A and B are shown apart, each in its own frame.
Chain A
Amino acid sequence: MKLKEKSKTLKRAAYVAFPHSVPILAGYGFLGLAYGILMSVSGFSPFFTFMMSLIVFGGSTQIVAVELLTAAFAPLHSFIITFVLCARHIFYGISMLEKYKGLGLKKLYMIYGMVDETFSINYSANPPDNVDRGWFMFFITAFNHIYWIIGSTVGALFGTMINFNTEGIDFVMTSMFTVIFIEQWRKDKSHFSALTGLAVCGICLTVFGKDNFIIPSMVAILIILTVAKPYLEKKMEVTYDEL
């Protein structure tokens, strides 16, 4: 009976999670395809592409990895480049500490698979009360992972045969981030942090260029939010009582 209960919980979580993952199906379908094509053009087998998407699972990391793998062997350089590229995940982790609390073993996979889009959905989505939130977030992670693997493998296998004009479809990600930004904006009691994020990143992008702006942006955001703590704590009504 207990097993039946569990499978019911899982099914309901998967069923509720799926619609939330549909924009990613479109976005990763296309980006994965483009990545798969890039990999075959660069001389990698479809199996290698499949393994990269399965194990590395990170869009921007994998695209940079194509460059790293086709250049001269430079292990330290590769490590540092990836490290810097993934720095923003530190912020995702800090934001998800509470929501991922007490989720057991599946949490390991959910942290491993927390890409930009998965973090955005898992942080902002509000599944109904009768749905297990932990499993909901697990399925978002897994669905997105599967879309990415399928997209890139199909791209590696058949990419050159596709001739439907898909130009601009990658905008689905920008569109999704816009919606999530708006949703967060409506929830926030103060827009200080959101405006800081936009302004700081916009300035850093202009000053440091598109390949180097993330780290300076993160440092500036941290400094500003630290300085503003006494003010923001009150405005955002941060409570510490459960600690």
Chain B
Amino acid sequence: MMSFKHQLITVALIILATAIMRFLPFVLFPDNKPTPRFIHYLGVVLPAAVFGLLMVYALKGVNVLDGSHGIPELIGIAVTAGVHLWKKQMLLSISAGTICYMLLVQFVF
């Protein structure tokens, strides 16, 4: 384990790297200057792709070749989507999907 001083330096660098990534777009394209057309275009079309990325990111630990083959995840997502398309109540859909998934991994798989 490194010394406390070294830990502080490491944490400071982690904070710096995080802050740079979060602030960069807002520093490059400030409020008082017109946003370049291409960036504005990206701002409109990117979110849909980003939400796709986040879905894959949330499922990155799933191994379809081993263990439960991602079946509980697939069912959990199907239940979430199904309840959401049916009732359109965000909290209800999320609760139903999560509880269903918990029951599956704890009792079935």
Name A's B-contacting residues (CB within 8 A). Answer: 19-20, 22-23, 26, 43, 52, 55-56, 58, 61, 65, 68-73, 75, 78-80, 82-83, 86-98, 100-102, 107, 111-112, 114, 116, 120, 123-124, 165, 167-169, 171-182, 184-185, 188, 191, 193-202, 205, 210, 213-214, 217-218, 221-222, 225-226, 229, 232-233, 236, 238, 240, 243
Contacts and interface: CB of A to CB of B under 8 A. Distances in A.
Interface in B33-88: 34-35, 37-61, 72-73, 76-77, 80-81, 84-85
Contact of B91 (A19, A52, A89, A201): A19
B46 to A, nearest CB: 5
9 contacts: A83-B20, A93-B22, A94-B39, A96-B43, A169-B102, A175-B77, A179-B80, A180-B51, A195-B52
Contacts of B57: 88, 116, 201, 214
A232 B22 CA distance: 27
Contacts of B7: 69
B2 A194 contact: no
B34 A243 contact: yes
A175 B82 CA distance: 11
Main secondary structure of the interface of B (DSSP, over half): helix
Given A165-B106, A168-B104, A174-B58, A23 B94 contact: yes
B56 A175 contact: no
Contacts of A168: 72, 98, 101-102, 104-106
A73 B13 CA distance: 12
Given A102-B31, A172-B94, A193-B49, A198 B101 contact: no
Given A19-B91, A179-B93, A229-B41, A197 B84 contact: no
B86 to A, nearest CB: 12
A123 B47 contact: yes
A83 B16 CA distance: 9
Contacts of B90: 20, 23, 179
A200 to B, nearest CB: 8
Interface in B9-29: 9-11, 13-26, 29
Contacts of A169: 98, 102
Given A68-B14, A98-B43, A198-B56, A26 B51 contact: no
Given A233-B41, A243-B40, A194 B52 contact: yes
B11 A56 contact: yes
Contacts of B35: 97-98, 243
A220 to B, nearest CB: 10
A48 B18 CA distance: 18
A236 B91 contact: no
A217 B9 CA distance: 31
Given A58-B18, A111-B26, A174 B47 contact: no
Given A225-B46, A236-B44, A61 B18 contact: yes
Contacts of B105: 167-168
